[in-house]
Amino acid sequence: MGAMVSSVLGVDWLATARRGAPASTGHALLWRGGLIAACALSISVAAWAGHPAGYLQADPALAHLLRAMALIKGLIVLGALGAALWRYGWPIAAPVALGHAACIAMLAGSATMIWQLTLIPLAALMFHGALLGMLYLGWREGSWREH
């Protein structure tokens, strides 16, 4: 039962996390700082890209529904960010770490675009593409050499 619980998409996450000693503090701080900076940049650009005032006046009910969806997507972003910050505390291959940062920054930016009611179809495509990217990284993580 324990093996089933810790295995998602064929990856034993607990065994992957326990494989090595915790990452060096310098590497962990570098990856974590880069991830937070990428998310902040993505959110800033997405917030700058649009102004929702016209949409809020045109169809307030739809705007409130979309903003509620953006809040739910924001919770998903926070969960992914927390998981990646934890994961950066263990040895991780550079391609995986960069992939996490890129996908989570895309998640954060697309959730902000939906909140701003800007380019919603593109934001939805970005959000779901980033989720698929995170699933791919999790599935293939063991195939890259860890540092």
DSSP string over 103-139: HHHHHHHHHHHHHTT-SHHHHHHHHHHHHHHHHHHHH
- pLDDT of 142 reads 73
How high is the pLDDT of residue 63? 87
Dist CA 87 CA 83 (whole Å) = 6
CB 110 within 8 A of CB 123: yes
Return the pLDDT at 97: 87
The structure's pTM equals: 0.77
Positions of the chain with pLDDT under 50: 1-11, 13, 21, 147
Which residue ranges make up each domain of the chain?
Answer: 23-143
